[in-house]
Chain A
């Protein structure tokens, strides 16, 4: 790992509200272009924005979950620029009084708990989308869809505390997971509901910060890591060959994994922020902060430690469960129905995950419920079914969508533990296999396994393996004592 790498991230997350930030238009994805647009979105004369309370609450929730200080007094500001993605020619954002400041997020990187500080979190509105027909250089016009314009967008800015591309990826993963736990954002980078820009620089030999470069257009966690790796190499080469890094914005190209310079504007950005006169300041009281704080769900890191410390789950399993809230909830519900945590984890991360993936359903889809797992574990404990049969029953639950007890009833899947019947069958098998008996008497212990296997085959796998083993051993030991 290169210790001279300094990375800071800027994350934009669309909030999961029903309506836009400043008007009642829908925020749905994929609707007919310009069908979720009103005079406020279009900034028609006389229209007035009114802030969506839920978006503010979601931002405060995120801030508290990220250990931020919540501003008691905030306001919105206008950021002026000319670009047709906003009909207003400005974007409503927050400049000097964001809702949240000075937080941090903790996460694991190479088995070590890392902490990345959060500089600030503010709320703004997303922009519209521009599209081009055919080749961008040849088309005379751009098409604009304002459905997305005005969607609540939370911007999270980190301090430059990240020191490798892998750490950046793990930070983003953890942040996305956190926002999903809070249920404030979908966090879908591919669909653009969560986006990430990175600032990266290499330290000078004397330890001072180098010139930073901004990278944009990374549409997945993998792209983020790849873009940063490429950029570290590029900057090292430039510096190594005596060149200078220019402060600029570079675009990541998914296809070839490189970054390339965007045309830099001659004019430096001058957004001329000023307080938004159409919106009133937001005052958040101690009581409100307390109330939101008390209602936060259990967060991933806390859940991880609870699984390990209170439920005795291994680190890797705990980490897998926690990385998906639906999986973690399923596990918690299993424990609530009195499943043994260790047994439950084995099934959840093994057969259940396999079938959830295969059938493309989520753990909370109610096809296979925590109570069903409890039934399966009980059936094994009661020696009614073997582990092997349990796996078959699990598969059948996904096919028939019925309870395990109903399924073993209907399909007659049952372990035979009628001792008398098994002894009779075992005696017959021993008689029919004199060679195996001879082998055993000569000291070949694997002859036992062969005879147990025959007994299982004879009973179509329904014999209790434990009992079969015991019976065959008893018969053979009797024979050997007669010798």
Chain B
């Protein structure tokens, strides 16, 4: 149903390090979940419009009015590391692709 490579790929995307036995376990679990979803393929959806959100509500907006932000001290209070008013993160060398 789902192969080892796919499990490792998905784990890598989620930045998860898996031990060999965990890969086997996840292979089985994710395989079961995917099998369960196959059931949906049997349903005839020819005349059903796609659902993008479970709530039947649209257009919830806010007006463009400024609300006070948090104080810098509060914002930084959970940061493992900070300097002046910056967050500090491990050095990023790799350039980001995409936007």
Contacts and interface: CB of A to CB of B under 8 A. Distances in A.
A124 B98 CA distance: 13
B58 interface: yes
* Dominant secondary structure at the A interface: loop
Contact of A25 (B55, B67, B95, B97): B67
Interface in B70-99: 70, 72, 75-76, 81, 83-99
A142 B58 contact: no
Contacts of A124: 99
Given A270-B13, A280-B58, A26 B92 contact: no
A144 B52 CA distance: 34
Interface string A221-263: 0000000000000000000000000000101000000000011
B88 A51 contact: no
Contacts of B87: 34, 84, 143-146
Contacts of A23: 67
Contacts of A438: none
A360 B92 CA distance: 41
B84 A33 contact: yes
Contacts of A32: 72, 85
A29 interface: no
B56 to A, nearest CB: 10
Contacts of B52: 75, 97, 275, 281
Interface stretch (A52-60, A63-71, A100-108): A52-60
B85 A34 contact: yes
B53 A277 contact: yes
Interface stretch (A37-45, A181-189, A418-426): A37-45
A24 B65 contact: yes
Interface stretch (A129-137, A314-322, A361-369, A391-399): A129-137
Contacts of B88: 141-144
Contacts of B70: 37-39
Interface stretch (A11-19, A169-177, A403-411): A11-19
| Size band of the interface chain A makes with B | 35 or more
* Dominant secondary structure at the B interface: loop
A36 B61 contact: no
Contacts of A39: 70
A107 to B, nearest CB: 25
Given A265-B97, A280-B60, A75 B53 contact: yes
A137 B92 CA distance: 9
Contact of A26 (B58, B66, B72, B75): B66
A272 B62 contact: no
A81 interface: yes
A329 to B, nearest CB: 24
Contacts of A17: 64
A18 to B, nearest CB: 5
A275 B52 CA distance: 6
B53 A34 contact: no
Contacts of A131: 86
Nearest to A27: B66
B15 interface: yes
B98 A271 contact: yes
Q: Which of B12, B60, B93 neighbours the largest number of chain A CB atoms within 10 Å of its CB? A: B60
B59 interface: yes
Contacts of A139: 91
- 8 closest A-B pairs by CB: A24-B67, A143-B86, A53-B61, A54-B64, A144-B87, A283-B58, A84-B89, A50-B62
Given A52-B61, A271-B98, 11 more contacts: A34-B76, A75-B52, A91-B99, A131-B86, A136-B93, A139-B91, A143-B86, A265-B97, A270-B9, A272-B13, A281-B59
10 contacts: A18-B66, A25-B67, A33-B86, A37-B70, A37-B75, A38-B75, A139-B91, A251-B95, A262-B95, A270-B9
